[in-house]
Structure 1
Amino acid sequence: MREQISQCMPVFTPKPGSLSAYRILKHPIPDIETFDSIVRTLVRSNPLGCTSFFSLRKNYPPVKVVREMYTAKFAYTTPGEKRIGTSSEVYDSVEGYETGIAAMISNMANLAAHRGKIRHRKDADLFSVILKCHDPNDGIYFVSLARRRVTVSSYTDDAIRKKVEAWAESVPELL
Protein backbone atom coordinates (compact mmCIF):
# COMPACT_ATOMS: atom_id res chain seq x y z
CA MET A 1 0.00 0.00 0.00
CA ARG A 2 2.82 2.43 0.95
CA GLU A 3 4.52 1.71 -2.39
CA GLN A 4 1.30 2.55 -4.28
CA ILE A 5 0.98 5.85 -2.44
CA SER A 6 4.62 6.82 -3.04
CA GLN A 7 4.28 6.04 -6.75
CA CYS A 8 1.38 8.50 -7.01
CA MET A 9 3.01 11.36 -5.10
CA PRO A 10 5.08 13.92 -6.97
CA VAL A 11 8.74 13.92 -6.00
CA PHE A 12 11.30 16.68 -5.69
CA THR A 13 13.43 16.62 -8.81
CA PRO A 14 17.02 17.77 -8.29
CA LYS A 15 18.25 20.35 -10.75
CA PRO A 16 21.52 19.32 -12.42
CA GLY A 17 24.58 21.35 -11.49
CA SER A 18 23.04 23.11 -8.52
CA LEU A 19 21.96 22.29 -5.04
CA SER A 20 18.26 22.88 -5.51
CA ALA A 21 15.18 20.79 -6.12
CA TYR A 22 11.59 21.53 -6.95
CA ARG A 23 8.16 19.92 -6.87
CA ILE A 24 5.44 20.78 -9.33
CA LEU A 25 2.10 20.55 -7.55
CA LYS A 26 -0.63 18.34 -9.00
CA HIS A 27 -3.13 21.14 -8.41
CA PRO A 28 -2.40 24.82 -7.83
CA ILE A 29 -3.00 26.14 -4.34
CA PRO A 30 -6.68 27.15 -4.58
CA ASP A 31 -6.66 30.67 -3.12
CA ILE A 32 -4.73 33.37 -1.29
CA GLU A 33 -6.13 32.34 2.11
CA THR A 34 -4.80 28.79 1.78
CA PHE A 35 -1.45 30.01 0.45
CA ASP A 36 -1.05 32.55 3.27
CA SER A 37 -1.99 29.94 5.86
CA ILE A 38 0.72 27.57 4.58
CA VAL A 39 3.33 30.34 4.72
CA ARG A 40 2.31 31.52 8.20
CA THR A 41 2.30 27.96 9.54
CA LEU A 42 5.77 27.34 8.12
CA VAL A 43 7.12 30.53 9.71
CA ARG A 44 5.37 30.18 13.08
CA SER A 45 5.45 26.41 13.63
CA ASN A 46 8.90 25.89 12.09
CA PRO A 47 8.30 22.23 11.09
CA LEU A 48 11.70 22.15 9.34
CA GLY A 49 13.52 22.53 12.67
CA CYS A 50 15.35 25.70 11.69
CA THR A 51 17.26 27.67 14.33
CA SER A 52 17.80 31.37 14.91
CA PHE A 53 21.29 32.67 14.20
CA PHE A 54 23.47 35.70 14.80
CA SER A 55 25.29 37.39 11.94
CA LEU A 56 26.79 40.86 11.49
CA ARG A 57 25.64 41.95 14.94
CA LYS A 58 22.05 41.03 14.19
CA ASN A 59 19.90 38.15 15.42
CA TYR A 60 17.81 36.41 12.73
CA PRO A 61 14.71 34.24 13.25
CA PRO A 62 14.80 30.54 12.24
CA VAL A 63 12.51 31.13 9.22
CA LYS A 64 12.15 34.55 7.66
CA VAL A 65 10.12 35.77 4.69
CA VAL A 66 12.58 37.58 2.42
CA ARG A 67 10.35 38.28 -0.58
CA GLU A 68 6.63 38.17 -1.34
CA MET A 69 4.90 38.70 -4.68
CA TYR A 70 1.19 38.42 -5.35
CA THR A 71 -0.16 39.02 -8.86
CA ALA A 72 -3.86 39.68 -9.43
CA LYS A 73 -5.16 39.24 -12.98
CA PHE A 74 -8.16 41.02 -14.46
CA ALA A 75 -10.19 40.82 -17.66
CA TYR A 76 -12.40 43.52 -19.13
CA THR A 77 -15.43 42.36 -21.10
CA THR A 78 -18.33 43.80 -23.07
CA PRO A 79 -21.91 43.14 -21.95
CA GLY A 80 -21.82 40.19 -24.40
CA GLU A 81 -18.80 38.75 -22.51
CA LYS A 82 -16.32 39.49 -25.32
CA ARG A 83 -12.89 40.20 -23.84
CA ILE A 84 -11.73 43.69 -24.69
CA GLY A 85 -8.76 44.03 -22.35
CA THR A 86 -6.68 42.52 -19.59
CA SER A 87 -4.44 43.77 -16.82
CA SER A 88 -2.45 42.50 -13.90
CA GLU A 89 -1.30 44.11 -10.69
CA VAL A 90 1.62 42.99 -8.52
CA TYR A 91 1.65 43.47 -4.74
CA ASP A 92 4.25 42.76 -2.05
CA SER A 93 1.85 41.63 0.68
CA VAL A 94 -1.37 39.70 1.10
CA GLU A 95 -3.01 42.86 2.46
CA GLY A 96 -1.89 44.84 -0.60
CA TYR A 97 -3.21 42.10 -2.88
CA GLU A 98 -6.63 42.08 -1.24
CA THR A 99 -6.91 45.88 -1.06
CA GLY A 100 -5.59 46.24 -4.60
CA ILE A 101 -8.22 43.91 -6.01
CA ALA A 102 -10.97 45.94 -4.36
CA ALA A 103 -9.41 49.15 -5.68
CA MET A 104 -9.17 47.82 -9.25
CA ILE A 105 -12.78 46.63 -9.26
CA SER A 106 -14.07 49.95 -7.95
CA ASN A 107 -11.87 52.23 -10.10
CA MET A 108 -14.48 53.95 -12.26
CA ALA A 109 -11.96 55.86 -14.38
CA ASN A 110 -10.21 52.61 -15.28
CA LEU A 111 -13.52 50.93 -16.11
CA ALA A 112 -14.49 53.87 -18.33
CA ALA A 113 -11.14 53.74 -20.11
CA HIS A 114 -11.62 50.04 -20.88
CA ARG A 115 -15.29 50.59 -21.76
CA GLY A 116 -16.25 47.31 -20.18
CA LYS A 117 -16.94 45.31 -17.07
CA ILE A 118 -14.00 44.14 -14.97
CA ARG A 119 -13.68 40.58 -13.71
CA HIS A 120 -11.02 39.35 -11.29
CA ARG A 121 -9.55 36.13 -12.73
CA LYS A 122 -8.77 34.40 -9.41
CA ASP A 123 -7.70 31.13 -11.03
CA ALA A 124 -5.01 32.97 -13.02
CA ASP A 125 -3.53 34.84 -10.03
CA LEU A 126 0.06 34.08 -9.03
CA PHE A 127 1.52 33.90 -5.54
CA SER A 128 5.13 33.43 -4.46
CA VAL A 129 7.12 33.73 -1.27
CA ILE A 130 10.80 33.10 -0.61
CA LEU A 131 11.72 32.02 2.91
CA LYS A 132 15.23 32.09 4.35
CA CYS A 133 15.86 29.17 6.68
CA HIS A 134 18.80 28.36 8.95
CA ASP A 135 19.70 24.71 9.48
CA PRO A 136 21.88 24.18 12.58
CA ASN A 137 24.20 21.83 10.65
CA ASP A 138 24.10 23.23 7.11
CA GLY A 139 23.61 26.98 7.40
CA ILE A 140 21.32 29.06 5.21
CA TYR A 141 18.99 27.64 2.57
CA PHE A 142 15.85 28.90 0.88
CA VAL A 143 12.35 27.52 0.44
CA SER A 144 10.29 29.12 -2.31
CA LEU A 145 6.56 28.58 -2.35
CA ALA A 146 4.51 29.43 -5.40
CA ARG A 147 0.98 28.61 -6.37
CA ARG A 148 2.12 25.67 -8.52
CA ARG A 149 5.59 24.81 -7.21
CA VAL A 150 7.76 24.31 -4.11
CA THR A 151 11.53 24.80 -4.44
CA VAL A 152 14.34 24.25 -1.96
CA SER A 153 17.65 25.82 -2.91
CA SER A 154 21.16 26.65 -1.70
CA TYR A 155 21.49 23.57 0.47
CA THR A 156 24.58 21.36 0.72
CA ASP A 157 23.24 18.38 2.64
CA ASP A 158 20.63 16.15 0.99
CA ALA A 159 19.02 15.72 4.42
CA ILE A 160 17.61 19.25 4.05
CA ARG A 161 15.88 18.37 0.77
CA LYS A 162 14.44 15.27 2.43
CA LYS A 163 13.25 17.34 5.41
CA VAL A 164 11.50 19.85 3.10
CA GLU A 165 10.03 17.00 1.07
CA ALA A 166 8.66 15.32 4.22
CA TRP A 167 7.12 18.63 5.32
CA ALA A 168 5.55 19.20 1.87
CA GLU A 169 4.07 15.69 1.96
CA SER A 170 2.42 16.53 5.29
CA VAL A 171 0.59 19.52 3.74
CA PRO A 172 -2.27 18.23 1.53
CA GLU A 173 -2.26 21.34 -0.70
CA LEU A 174 1.42 20.73 -1.59
CA LEU A 175 1.01 17.25 -3.05
Structure 2
Amino acid sequence: MADFVQTTVNKTAVRDLAVPIADVTSFNNLVETVIDDNPFGCVGYTGADGEAVAPVVRNREHYTAKVNFLDGEGKRVGTVSLQSPTIAAFEANAAAVMEDATIAAAMGGEAVRNGPGETYYCQLRCHDPSGDDYYVTFTRKTVRISSYQDDAIRTAVEAWADNVGTLD
Protein backbone atom coordinates (compact mmCIF):
# COMPACT_ATOMS: atom_id res chain seq x y z
CA MET A 1 0.00 0.00 0.00
CA ALA A 2 1.35 3.41 -0.98
CA ASP A 3 1.75 6.14 1.63
CA PHE A 4 0.86 9.80 1.26
CA VAL A 5 3.97 11.95 1.14
CA GLN A 6 3.71 15.53 2.36
CA THR A 7 4.67 17.93 -0.43
CA THR A 8 3.88 21.31 1.13
CA VAL A 9 3.08 22.84 4.46
CA ASN A 10 0.17 25.26 4.23
CA LYS A 11 -0.59 27.33 7.28
CA THR A 12 -3.51 29.36 8.60
CA ALA A 13 -3.46 32.22 11.10
CA VAL A 14 -6.42 34.19 12.47
CA ARG A 15 -6.72 37.58 14.16
CA ASP A 16 -9.91 38.08 16.16
CA LEU A 17 -10.93 41.73 16.17
CA ALA A 18 -11.73 43.37 19.50
CA VAL A 19 -14.51 45.40 17.85
CA PRO A 20 -16.39 44.25 14.74
CA ILE A 21 -15.95 46.36 11.61
CA ALA A 22 -18.68 49.00 11.89
CA ASP A 23 -20.45 48.83 8.54
CA VAL A 24 -20.24 47.55 4.98
CA THR A 25 -18.74 50.82 3.71
CA SER A 26 -15.85 50.63 6.20
CA PHE A 27 -15.44 46.94 5.34
CA ASN A 28 -15.31 47.63 1.61
CA ASN A 29 -12.88 50.54 2.09
CA LEU A 30 -10.55 48.21 4.00
CA VAL A 31 -10.69 45.54 1.27
CA GLU A 32 -10.21 48.11 -1.52
CA THR A 33 -7.21 49.58 0.31
CA VAL A 34 -5.51 46.17 0.29
CA ILE A 35 -6.29 45.68 -3.41
CA ASP A 36 -5.21 49.20 -4.43
CA ASP A 37 -2.20 49.69 -2.14
CA ASN A 38 -0.88 46.08 -2.21
CA PRO A 39 0.69 46.38 1.27
CA PHE A 40 1.96 42.77 1.23
CA GLY A 41 4.20 43.24 -1.82
CA CYS A 42 2.32 40.83 -4.06
CA VAL A 43 3.08 40.59 -7.79
CA GLY A 44 0.91 40.26 -10.87
CA TYR A 45 1.33 37.37 -13.26
CA THR A 46 0.01 35.90 -16.49
CA GLY A 47 -2.68 33.25 -16.00
CA ALA A 48 -2.91 29.95 -17.88
CA ASP A 49 -5.28 31.62 -20.35
CA GLY A 50 -2.68 34.30 -21.16
CA GLU A 51 -4.60 37.03 -19.31
CA ALA A 52 -2.85 39.36 -16.87
CA VAL A 53 -3.82 38.73 -13.24
CA ALA A 54 -3.50 41.53 -10.68
CA PRO A 55 -1.32 40.97 -7.58
CA VAL A 56 -4.37 40.97 -5.25
CA VAL A 57 -7.88 40.02 -6.42
CA ARG A 58 -11.25 39.34 -4.84
CA ASN A 59 -11.50 35.57 -4.86
CA ARG A 60 -14.96 35.19 -3.32
CA GLU A 61 -17.30 37.30 -1.27
CA HIS A 62 -20.77 37.44 0.20
CA TYR A 63 -22.72 39.82 2.40
CA THR A 64 -25.70 38.95 4.63
CA ALA A 65 -28.29 41.60 5.42
CA LYS A 66 -30.67 41.12 8.36
CA VAL A 67 -34.10 42.67 8.66
CA ASN A 68 -36.16 42.22 11.83
CA PHE A 69 -39.89 42.72 12.04
CA LEU A 70 -41.16 44.30 15.25
CA ASP A 71 -44.74 44.36 16.49
CA GLY A 72 -46.38 47.42 18.09
CA GLU A 73 -44.73 46.60 21.43
CA GLY A 74 -41.23 46.40 19.95
CA LYS A 75 -41.09 42.61 20.17
CA ARG A 76 -39.40 40.81 17.29
CA VAL A 77 -42.01 38.72 15.48
CA GLY A 78 -39.91 37.73 12.47
CA THR A 79 -36.62 38.11 10.68
CA VAL A 80 -35.35 37.89 7.13
CA SER A 81 -31.75 37.04 6.28
CA LEU A 82 -30.50 37.81 2.76
CA GLN A 83 -27.14 36.52 1.54
CA SER A 84 -25.97 38.44 -1.52
CA PRO A 85 -22.93 38.04 -3.80
CA THR A 86 -21.97 41.74 -3.88
CA ILE A 87 -22.33 44.86 -1.76
CA ALA A 88 -24.65 46.40 -4.37
CA ALA A 89 -26.94 43.34 -4.20
CA PHE A 90 -26.70 43.38 -0.38
CA GLU A 91 -27.95 46.97 -0.24
CA ALA A 92 -30.62 46.49 -2.94
CA ASN A 93 -32.00 43.30 -1.37
CA ALA A 94 -32.17 44.82 2.09
CA ALA A 95 -33.92 47.92 0.74
CA ALA A 96 -36.44 45.78 -1.16
CA VAL A 97 -37.38 43.83 1.98
CA MET A 98 -37.55 47.01 4.06
CA GLU A 99 -40.02 48.51 1.57
CA ASP A 100 -42.13 45.38 0.97
CA ALA A 101 -45.53 45.91 2.61
CA THR A 102 -46.65 42.35 1.78
CA ILE A 103 -43.78 40.81 3.74
CA ALA A 104 -44.33 43.23 6.65
CA ALA A 105 -48.04 42.33 6.75
CA ALA A 106 -47.26 38.60 6.61
CA MET A 107 -44.72 38.99 9.42
CA GLY A 108 -47.10 41.08 11.47
CA GLY A 109 -44.67 43.90 12.18
CA GLU A 110 -42.62 46.81 10.97
CA ALA A 111 -39.31 46.19 9.14
CA VAL A 112 -36.18 47.36 10.98
CA ARG A 113 -32.66 46.81 9.68
CA ASN A 114 -30.46 44.82 12.08
CA GLY A 115 -27.04 46.30 11.22
CA PRO A 116 -25.13 44.69 14.10
CA GLY A 117 -26.43 41.25 13.05
CA GLU A 118 -25.24 41.58 9.47
CA THR A 119 -22.18 39.70 8.22
CA TYR A 120 -19.57 40.46 5.57
CA TYR A 121 -17.08 38.07 3.98
CA CYS A 122 -14.41 38.79 1.39
CA GLN A 123 -11.52 36.51 0.52
CA LEU A 124 -8.59 38.03 -1.38
CA ARG A 125 -6.19 35.89 -3.40
CA CYS A 126 -2.67 37.27 -3.12
CA HIS A 127 0.20 36.22 -5.40
CA ASP A 128 3.50 36.17 -3.52
CA PRO A 129 6.76 36.97 -5.40
CA SER A 130 7.77 33.34 -4.69
CA GLY A 131 4.96 32.25 -7.03
CA ASP A 132 2.70 30.94 -4.27
CA ASP A 133 -0.88 32.07 -3.87
CA TYR A 134 -2.29 32.66 -0.41
CA TYR A 135 -5.53 34.09 0.88
CA VAL A 136 -6.42 36.96 3.20
CA THR A 137 -10.03 36.68 4.32
CA PHE A 138 -11.90 39.50 6.01
CA THR A 139 -15.09 39.18 8.03
CA ARG A 140 -16.59 41.71 10.40
CA LYS A 141 -14.89 39.97 13.33
CA THR A 142 -11.72 38.35 11.97
CA VAL A 143 -8.86 38.53 9.51
CA ARG A 144 -7.56 35.13 8.36
CA ILE A 145 -4.43 34.31 6.38
CA SER A 146 -4.58 30.86 4.81
CA SER A 147 -2.68 28.56 2.47
CA TYR A 148 0.63 30.29 3.07
CA GLN A 149 3.91 28.44 3.49
CA ASP A 150 6.49 31.11 4.28
CA ASP A 151 6.15 32.72 7.73
CA ALA A 152 7.35 35.99 6.14
CA ILE A 153 3.87 36.25 4.57
CA ARG A 154 2.20 36.11 7.99
CA THR A 155 4.73 38.63 9.31
CA ALA A 156 3.98 41.06 6.46
CA VAL A 157 0.21 40.80 6.87
CA GLU A 158 0.50 41.09 10.64
CA ALA A 159 2.72 44.18 10.40
CA TRP A 160 0.20 45.82 8.08
CA ALA A 161 -2.75 44.88 10.32
CA ASP A 162 -0.96 46.26 13.37
CA ASN A 163 -1.05 49.68 11.70
CA VAL A 164 -4.76 49.58 10.79
CA GLY A 165 -6.75 50.86 13.77
CA THR A 166 -9.91 48.89 12.95
CA LEU A 167 -7.96 45.62 13.03
CA ASP A 168 -6.92 45.71 16.71
TM-score (norm 2): 0.91
Q: Matched residues, percent identical?
A: 35
Task: Flag as ranges the 4+ runs of structure 1 deviating above 4 A.
Answer: none
Q: Name the SS for the 1:33 alignment partner.
A: helix
Q: Report what 2:98 is aligned to.
A: 105
Q: Name the SS for the 1:154 alignment partner.
A: strand
Measure the CA separation in 1 of the matches of 2:150 and 2:36: 24
Measure the CA separation in 2 of the matches of 1:116 and 1:139: 52
Measure the CA separation in 2 of the matches of 1:22 and 1:31: 21
Measure the CA separation in 1 of the matches of 2:139 and 2:100: 28
Using the TM superposition, give the Cα deviation of residue 26 of structure 1 relative to its aligned residue in structure 2, in angstroms: 0.4
Q: Report what 1:120 is aligned to.
A: 113
Return 5+ residue gaps in structure 1 as ranges.
1-16
Contact 2:10–2:148, Cα closer than 8 Å, also in 1: no
The CA deviation string for residues 25-46 of structure 1, in whole angstroms up to 9 with x for no partner, is 0000011111010011110111
Which structure 2 residues correspond to residues 25-174 of structure 1 after superposition, within 5 A?
Answer: 25-56=17-48, 57-174=50-167
Measure the CA separation in 1 of the matches of 2:10 and 2:74: 47
Return 5+ residue gaps in structure 2 as ranges.
1-8
Using the TM superposition, give the Cα deviation of residue 55 of structure 1 relative to its aligned residue in structure 2, in angstroms: 2.5
Q: RMSD across aligned C-alpha pairs, in angstroms?
A: 1.2
Contact 2:128–2:134, Cα closer than 8 Å, also in 1: yes
Which of the numbers 8, 15, 25 marks the counterpart of 1:23? 15
Contact 2:10–2:149, Cα closer than 8 Å, also in 1: no
Using the TM superposition, give the Cα deviation of residue 98 of structure 1 relative to its aligned residue in structure 2, in angstroms: 1.3
Measure the CA separation in 2 of the matches of 1:70 and 1:19: 26
